[in-house]
Each structure stands twice: as C-alpha cells, then as structure tokens.
C-alpha cells in the first residue's frame, strides 16, 4: 500500500519486482486490498499485451493514514 501512496499507480510486474515476491503472493494481497476497497484495478493493453495497474482509492488512502497514526501512537506509548 505504501508504494501506491507515493505513486499515482503501479503495474503488477513492477510491484512484483520491487517487493521481490511471487505472483501468487502478490495477487492474493492485491485481491484483499481490492476487496476492502483500498485499491482499484486498471486493466489495459500495451502492444497487445495485457497490463494491470493498481491505484489507491480515497478509502485506501484514509485507511493507510489511520494505520500510520495508530503506529505513531503505539511508538509514543499512547493507546
């Protein structure tokens, strides 16, 4: 999710390479984020090859920011 917070969108292969994980692991995690409404999927073709890109939604951005706030409070000893 952090990759999508600092980039407008990212494609599957670039995410896989950046995160150094398997296709199945990445697909499973992306599916969970999509199901929660945190990311949207954009499917296109580039030179007749399918290209799947992902973009964070407003809901996903808020959830991520809430997560960061909770982590900061935990680090500071507040609950």
Name 57's Cβ contacts closer than 8 Å, sequence gap at least 6: 37, 38, 39, 40
Distance separating alpha carbons of residues 59 and 6, to the nearest angstrom: 15
User: Which structural domains are found in the chain, ordered by start?
Assistant: 2-75 (1.10.10.10)
pTM for this prediction = 0.85
Pair type for strands 10-11 and 39-46 = unpaired
pLDDT tens digits, the chain, 79 residues: what are they? 999 999 999 999 999 999 999 999 999 999 999 999 999 999 999 999 999 999 999 999 999 999 999 999 999 987 6
Cβ–Cβ < 8 Å for 16, 26:
yes
H-type alpha helices, the chain: 2-6, 12-19, 23-35, 58-75
């Amino acid at each position: 999710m952090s990759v999508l917070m600092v980039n407008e969108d990212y494609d599957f292969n670039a995410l896989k390479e950046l995160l150094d994980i398997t296709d199945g692991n990445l697909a499973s995690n992306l599916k969970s984020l999509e199901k929660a409404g945190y990311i949207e999927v954009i499917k296109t073709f580039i030179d007749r090859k399918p290209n799947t890109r992902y973009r964070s939604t407003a809901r996903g951005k808020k959830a991520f920011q809430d997560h960061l706030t909770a982590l900061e409070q935990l680090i500071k000893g507040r609950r």
